[in-house]
Structure 1
Amino acid sequence: MTTTWKLSFSVPLATAEIFADTLRDAFDPECQAVATAEIEEHITWSVEAYYEIRPERAHMEKLLSGPSAESGYTIDDLLIEALPEINWVAKSLEGLAPIQTDRFFVHGTHDVENLPAAKIPLLVDAGEAFGTGHHGTTLGCLRFIERECRRRHPQNALDLGCGTGLLAIAIAKLTHRVVTASDIDPIATRVTGENARANRAHPFIKALTAAGFGHPELTARGPYDLIVANILAGPLVGLAPAVAQHLAPGGTLILSGILAEQEQMVTSAYRAQGLFLVERLPLDEWVTLRLAG
């Protein structure tokens, strides 16, 4: 994880923006963000700047000498410090309530003592990859997976753009068949493997790192009678020919990551490949689609 460096100091209210503008406009070093905040009402303000690379003290003192001369104020509390390495994705999702569907109970480690007996538990803690069940796109896919597995028993499924691997693990739990899970991001495929082990589903998950179908094993393991792709509308449209090529005759396609206003664009792209909308599930501003040939 990248360390973030913070530079901070306090100045009189009237000079705060002069110093802040100097930091914002500097190219060496280039800051990620600058913030000012009131410390003492109408008197003293703090100025903070954030950097990916540690700023050198002597260089920053020289940079700030300009606004010091302009304002007549000399900084006497300049501080440069490394911020704690915090995974803000995980931090923001800590303590989220579990999600329940007809068959599944999606939860974090903090809820392992509260598992309902009638549900299939899916343990996914917030982390570096997308997909904890709380987003409308992931939830929509889970519900369609449940419906599909009630309708028939998929024998060879693919989770394309697997993120945390939640959807692949859900399919494996329902079918007890090996599910292929692929993602362009190697962090996602690593996390998928970790989550598969945490859910005791690792014998049924084959994780591959690939852009689209750009891995020979993805082709070798096909065709797939169920493909789930929870990515974004643009990539879904671009992948339409390859997805249609790797979907088995009579197979089912579940698509999500689609905003309601993008639905027509996506369905048109797949209609051109001979795949037609069977069912749609809107959740918030997102829509999940089930298609078949």
Structure 2
Amino acid sequence: MSAEQIDSWKVTLPCTRAEAEAIDAGEFALDAVLMTTEVVEDDKERWRLDAYMENEPDAAMLAALRALAPSAGAIAPVIEPLTAEDWVKMSQEGLEPIREGQFVVHTSAHPVDAPEGGRAFLIDAGRAFGTGHHATTSGCLRMLDAMAEQAFSSVIDVGTGTGLLAFAAAHLWSEARIVATDIDPSAIEVTQANAVANAIAGIELIVADGALSDAITARAPYDLVIANILAGPLVSMAPELAAIADVRATIVLAGLLETQREQVVAAFAGCGCTLQDVDRRGDWTILRLQAGASRYVPSTPPDPKGRDGWALDI
């Protein structure tokens, strides 16, 4: 392979489930995309860490990755140069269609027809999180499908990633105003491209950090708020998410581990929200809450500087 052909690099190390969970739930100042995978089902010791980066990994990068998987010990990391074709092929391999209620989510490599009365979404793996293959996203799809008979007129998907959950909402509630936001401009670009690929129109796309943007608050209140991000940001963002929710609005939260459930529920309880339903998927948990009988007004204005970064990168 000539140097001109190399598009990016991949580093692979074995890890344990505990290490994978810490990686998935953490924020790391690494110039790399981190992914963890269960190698042997129900084996806590057989997991894998893959790190993707634009430049050839140097000693500092390899040391940082080793620190994330100390169980690997003296095992040498596998370092692979990748071409653009390698990346596309690899990103689609093994991503079989996901079926949740009336939805099926597939990649270009595994096309399928929509179920009768349902909807198929083409979501290829790429720059943004949310292909439907992670338990948080698939669990949100199931949660939305279970609410199909309810009526919603104004929906916001905070941290939309690929746009998948906003697309599902648009299918279920075709007359509703749908807003999809993300802190990452590239995620909004991906959502726009996915909307075109899936013939979905009318979703308002906003680049915003959390829910404090004027473009978001101007469209409030929302009677359905979806936030599939991370537990820490969910806790710190609880006041601003509750503040844009309408009276008795439904709030769907994901991106949290079961061990983090109480902390997240308590944060939203402090904003007048009550827990209505829980969908636990392995170590991950999806929550459905209901906003209070009156619009929540924070006692002090939410401070975005007090939050952690909130993009879910799994």
Q: Same fold (TM over 0.5)?
A: yes
**Separation in 1 of the partners of 2:165 and 2:256?**
17
Q: Which amino acid aligns with 1:228?
A: I
2:194 matched to which residue of 1? 195
SS of structure 1 residue aligned to 2:153: coil
For structure 2, the residue ranges without an aligned partner over 5 or more in a row are 1-5, 11-57, 64-75, 293-314
Contact 1:31–1:49 under 8 Å retained in 2: no
Does 2:93 align with 1:94? yes
> Among residues 255, 265, 268, which one is paired with 1:270 in the alignment?
268
2:179 matched to which residue of 1? 180
SS of structure 2 residue aligned to 1:262: helix
1:250 matched to which residue of 2? 248
* Partner deviation per Cα, 1:17-39 (whole Å, 9 max, x = no partner): xxxxxxxxxxxx765339xxxxx
> Among residues 204, 209, 229, which one is paired with 1:231 in the alignment?
229
Q: Which amino acid aligns with 2:120?
A: P
Contact 1:33–1:49 under 8 Å retained in 2: no
SS of structure 2 residue aligned to 1:214: coil
**Separation in 2 of the partners of 1:119 and 1:263?**
31
**Separation in 1 of the partners of 2:222 and 2:213?**
15
SS of structure 1 residue aligned to 2:241: helix
* Structure 1 residues 217 and 258: alpha-carbon distance in aligned structure 2, compared to 1, 3 A threshold: same
SS of structure 1 residue aligned to 2:171: helix
* Structure 1 residues 276 and 190: alpha-carbon distance in aligned structure 2, compared to 1, 3 A threshold: same
SS of structure 1 residue aligned to 2:246: strand
1:286 matched to which residue of 2? 284
Question: In the TM superposition, what are the counterparts of 1:1-293 in structure 2 within 5 Å?
Answer: 3-4=7-8, 32-33=61-62, 83-85=82-84, 88=87, 91-150=90-149, 152-176=150-174, 177-201=176-200, 203-292=201-290, 293=292
Q: Percent identity?
A: 41
**Separation in 2 of the partners of 1:48 and 1:137?**
29
* Partner deviation per Cα, 1:64-114 (whole Å, 9 max, x = no partner): xxxxxxxxxxxxxxxxx9752468587244341111122111111233354
**Separation in 1 of the partners of 2:235 and 2:168?**
25
Cα RMSD (Å)? 2.7
Question: Bigger radius of gyration, 1 or 2?
Answer: 1
SS of structure 2 residue aligned to 1:226: strand
Question: Which structure has more helix as a fraction of its residues?
Answer: 1
**Separation in 2 of the partners of 1:110 and 1:102?**
22
Which deviates further from its counterpart, 105-114 or 163-172?
A: 105-114
SS of structure 2 residue aligned to 1:129: coil
What TM-score, normalized by structure 2, do the two folds share? Answer: 0.66
Query: More relative contact order in 1 or in 2 (CA 8 Å, sep 6+)?
Result: 2
Q: Which amino acid aligns with 2:232?
A: G
What TM-score, normalized by structure 1, do the two folds share? Answer: 0.70
SS of structure 1 residue aligned to 2:249: strand
**Separation in 1 of the partners of 2:283 and 2:274?**
22
Contact 1:123–1:195 under 8 Å retained in 2: yes
For structure 1, the residue ranges without an aligned partner over 5 or more in a row are 7-28, 35-46, 51-80
